[in-house]
Amino acid sequence: MRYAETGYNLEIDLSTGNIEKVATDPALMALHLGGLGTDLKIMWDRVLPETKAFDPENLLIFSSGLLCGTPVYSASRTVVTTISPQTDLLAYPLMGGFLAAELKYAGYDKVIIRGKASKLVYIWIHNDRVELRDASALKGKGAIETQELIREELKEPKAQVAAIGLAGENKVFYASIEQSRSSASRLGAGAVMGDKNVKAIAVRGTKDIYLARGDELMKLMARARAFVQHRNANPLQIAVHSPQHSGIVGSTQEMKYTDESWHTTGFAWGNARTRRKDFWTKEIEDNWVNSQTKAIRRFISCFNCPQECGGLIDHPGVPRFMMKCFSKLTYAMAAYVDDLDFTWKICQRAFDYGLDSFSTPQVLAFAVELYEAGILTDADFAGCPTDQEGRFLWLLDRVARREGIGDLLAEGTYYAARKIGRGAEAFDHNTIKKHEQMNIKLGMLDPLYYLMYSTNEKISITQIEGNWPQGAIASREEREEFIKDWPQLPDEKFKQYLLDWEPRGEKANPFYPTPEISSEIVDWMETLHNIDDALGLCAGWGSFILKPPYHIHNYPQIISAATGLALDEAGLKQIANRNRNLHRAFNNRRGLRRADEKPPADHWKHRYPEYEEELLTAYYKFKGWNNEGIPTKTRLQALNLAYVAEDLERRGILTDGQDEKES
């Protein structure tokens, strides 16, 4: 009997219409766990490095994490894995909600989609019954609307539906996939779904999931629940960290927190250009609190989670919709609109179009900046309203429909800048590996964030930062107090690292934490994210917040009780490192090299180019990679990835002597 996982994947070839239920190798759990981990193995085996995002050979995998559908709190993440049209590297946006659990209850760990349908379809999965259904009547419909229309057609109100909107149909490079209160947003998985002519995937399942040691697992969950209840009653107070991020457990608590002084004065507005340090006045606070309080009808949760991180939005003149996390701020700040009511209006439209709420506002602000600089002209903006709100809504429509200037903007800042020309390239200053970043501009180079921004495979800071404070804590006394209760640390020596880290002086950024210490801390945080993404856990319970309920010391117990897998901390770290290095090798095989691992030039005001190279070299050495950021043969063999080393050698990506000369 298989525990926690179903032991079956659903294979769908859209080009032929063939649908097959395929048994999986149980040994893969011990090697890669599930979720992103086993997705990586499938992508490595089946997607050649020459395959592009919109080729029929590209796969689109909807993957339920290993613990999804079990009683493990917050195990709700669906991983959507494919090749990104933006970066030409692996994309794996995650979404919460209920789809992952429903997929397990239908009897599948993954849905693996290949080829292209000849007409628009949606996939209907009801236990062992699987159909490709005509979606012609849904063409042009919004992602939110489509979910309801499909439930009505199927007469299955409990079906979980993930859908694309107009942006996905039109292959906008940063199109999202919307589902329940969540979305798979980053790196353009919605565009790949649109290219394959799949409007939606709908799932209803009624089967059981089995646990190896259910009583033991429930005791572990009781401890986790007690911890969360204590944290909710006693939020962390740390000045250098966003309260929405660190105060209580859960994904960023933008719906519950109304004090946005930290984000609005610390992050950049417009095209990630300007900090408005005096923005958060008493008048703004009163207006924003009033707007948010009126707009949120009730709070909502993902599958088997008590934290209610999302909100049901009910704003006059706007259809009701579910909202999550930082999208509350992205459009308003990008548009320089000081009225939070604008957020509720534009986000509903953007979600229905199916657009990433991080990339899209930055692309729209980039267009406005080009217009104000005279690079885009009145002809490009013909018919556009002149007010800030109207201008952003107009641009949003153009992008989703790929009309006029929106056709260029639909490919993202990097590509649009180069197609527009006439100096537009200089305005593309907030992308990494061709992907738009958070709207942050800071002063002094931070070595930890330099490495996280440069090297993480998600190409998005929110998928790598987490368990370490975002800045040095002001006083020695406060630091001593902070480390007193920190059982989540992987090693006691990390306490000394934090004690020694000061806001100013010799033990401050940019030269402290040292390159070696920075590498250790970053490796720890990325290990946690790799574990969460394989298990399907919300990062807000593990890898993304300070002092979380899930950590390296209890992950093995939870996994073992659910799956029966004999696992200790060393074994779990080995699996996480195996997945990380397979992921890195996959991207190396597609061309990723050291030269690509650069944050935007103006991300920090004070930069140290030679020292940054020293940081990167130290990190590569710590990881067991060569100077190009490619895992060495020795490292790969130690992780049971000899077949990866052989492939890289055969392609000339790894050559003789690189282990010795370049690591």
Asked whether the beta carbons of 62 and 80 are under 8 A apart, the reply is: yes
Q: How confident is the model at residue 663 (pLDDT cuts 50, 70, 90)?
A: very low
Determine if the peptide bond prior to 513 is cis (ω within 30°). yes
Q: Biggest alpha carbon distance in the chain?
A: 67
pLDDT at 50: 98
Q: What is the pLDDT of residues 584-598, one digit of tens each?
A: 999 999 999 999 999
The total of other beta-carbon atoms located within 10 Å of residue 101's CB is 25
Which of 31, 95, 2 lies closest to 536, judged by CA?
A: 95
Please provide the CATH number assigned to the domain covering 241-436. Answer: 1.10.569.10
pLDDT tens for 53-67 read 999 999 999 999 999
Percent of the chain having pLDDT more than 90?
A: 93
Q: Would you tell me how many other CB atoms lie within 10 Å of the CB of residue 382?
A: 9
Q: Is the pLDDT of residue 119 over 90?
A: yes
Task: For residue 607, give the amino acid letter.
Answer: R
pLDDT band of residue 139 (cuts 50, 70, 90) is very high
Q: What is the pLDDT of residue 624?
A: 98
pLDDT of 408 > 90? The answer is: yes
CA dihedral 9, 15, 18, 24 (to 10 degrees): -20
In the predicted model, is pLDDT for residue 24 greater than 70?
yes
pLDDT of residue 652: 97
pLDDT band at 662 (very low <50, low <70, confident <90, very high): very low
Question: Domain residue spans in the chain?
Answer: 8-204, 241-436, 443-662
The topology (CATH level 3) of 8-204 is Aldehyde Ferredoxin Oxidoreductase;  A, domain 1 (3.60.9)
Distance CA(312)–CA(217), nearest Å, equals 32
**517-529 residue pLDDT tens:** 999 999 999 999 9
CA distance 289 to 292: 5
pLDDT at 110 over 50: yes
Residue 173 CA to residue 399 CA, distance in Å, equals 10
Q: Which two tokens stand for residue 303?
A: 């599958």
pLDDT at residue 240, as a whole number: 85
Record the tokens describing residue 129, joined without a space. Answer: 């019954």
Q: For helices 515-535 and 555-563, give the axis angle rounded to 10 degrees.
A: 20
Residues 6+ apart with CB under 8 A from 277: 265
For residue 533, give every residue at least 6 positions away whose Cβ sits within 8 Å of its Cβ, in sequence order, or none. Answer: 35, 36, 37, 65, 77, 79, 92, 94
Q: Phi and psi dihedrals of 427, rounded to 5?
A: -90, -10
CATH of 443-662 among 1.10.599, 3.30.499, 3.20.20, 1.20.120: 1.10.599
User: Concatenated DSSP letters for 275-293?
Assistant: E-TT---HHHHHHHHHHHH
pLDDT exceeds 50 at position 307: yes
3-state secondary structure of 126: strand
